[in-house]
Amino acid sequence: EPEVTQTPSHQVTQMGQEVILRCVPISNHLYFYWYRQILGQKVEFLVSFYNNEISEKSEIFDDQFSVERPDGSNFTLKIRSTKLEDSAMYFCASRQGGYAEAFFGQGTRLTVV
Amino acid sequence: DAKTTQPPSMDCAEGRAANLPCNHSTISGNEYVYWYRQIHSQGPQYIIHGLKNNETNEMASLIITEDRKSSTLILPHATLRDTAVYYCIVRVAGIQGAQKLVFGQGTRLTINP
């Protein structure tokens, strides 16, 4: 069964450093998403991406965040200068379109120290 | 997207049917009801979705009331592996728009041996 894969599974970084979280969505999907979940809290939407551009972003997704689909298969989330409060699980998701469901990856646990 | 209300927690005995309720009294005519679950800190997993008819798949059944103001997810023979947080989400589904998922707190379902 096709799945969304995320790497790395766990990333530890120092405050102020840049991190790139990587995702390989399901191959025939058209919509791509990043969500995050701070420990013990709700899953929160960050950004959606369609047709090579951001289609929607939340208030969390400020200038420190960016997304890219550099080569038609990978989908990346970059945090330019990490803060302690960026520590969370980050989930990538993809969806084919229409009323199709979204499939989520297993997440990257980001720890900022 | 319409708001949903779910009980914060429920218990169910292994082998019995687990019935998880969800209220969505402000649902619009073009909004679907989606159910996802999250086992521990894994990525959310799609279960089922529907518009107005009852739906069944290999994982669960979804019963939507005639007025569409509430629904029930049924896991017919719950196992210990069904212990998870279950999310009921309503959203517009269609060709236009990226259609993010808005997660609430969900229902923490515990299956007891």
State pLDDT tens for residues A4-23: 999 999 999 999 999 999 99
**Partner residues linked to A33 by β-bridges:** A48, A93
Q: For testing the chain B interface, which of A42, A43, A56 should be mutated: the one with the most B CBs within 10 Å?
A: A43
Q: What is the pLDDT of residue B7?
A: 97
Is residue A71 pLDDT above 90, yes or no?
A: no
Min CA distance, A83 vs chain B (Å)? 22
Residue of A30, A83, A20 lying closest to A52 (CA atoms):
A30
Interchain contact A56–B (C-beta under 8 A): yes
Q: What is the pLDDT of residue A99?
A: 75
Is residue A109 pLDDT above 90, yes or no?
A: yes
Q: What is the pLDDT of residue B21?
A: 98
* Cβ-based contacts under 8 A for chains A and B: 61
For residue range A11-56, what is the model confidence (pLDDT) as tens digits? 999 999 999 999 999 998 999 999 999 999 999 999 999 989 999 9
DSSP 3-state of B74: strand
The encoded tokens of residue B1 equal 């997207």
Alpha-carbon distance B15 to B75, whole Å? 10
Helices (H), A6-110: none
Q: What is the pLDDT of residue A16?
A: 97
Q: For testing the chain B interface, which of A104, A110, A111 should be mutated: the one with the most B CBs within 10 Å?
A: A104
Is residue B98 pLDDT above 80, yes or no?
A: no
Q: What is the pLDDT of residue A72?
A: 78
- Percent of chain A residues topping a pLDDT of 90: 84
Is residue A91 pLDDT above 80, yes or no?
A: yes
CB contact under 8 A, B101 and A45: yes
Taking residues A74-83, what's their average pLDDT?
97
Instruction: For residue A8, say if its preceding peptide bond is cis, omega within 30 degrees of 0.
Output: yes
Min CA distance, B12 vs chain A (Å)? 23
Residue B93: pLDDT band (50, 70, 90) is low
Cα Rg, chain B, nearest whole Å: 14
Min CA distance, B77 vs chain A (Å)? 24
Q: How many CA atoms lie within 13 A of A86 on its CB side?
A: 27
Find where tokens 């894994």 sit.
B42
CB contact under 8 A, B44 and A43: yes
Min CA distance, A35 vs chain B (Å)? 9
For residue range B27-85, what is the model confidence (pLDDT) as tens digits? 988 889 999 999 998 999 999 999 998 999 999 999 999 999 999 999 999 999 999 99
Q: What is the pLDDT of residue B13?
A: 97
Alpha-carbon distance A55 to B84, whole Å? 31
Is residue A102 pLDDT above 80, yes or no?
A: yes
> Which among B41, B46, B103 has the least Cβ separation from residue A89?
B41
Taking residues A71-81, what's their average pLDDT?
93
Is residue B96 pLDDT above 60, yes or no?
A: no
Taking residues A52-64, what's their average pLDDT?
93
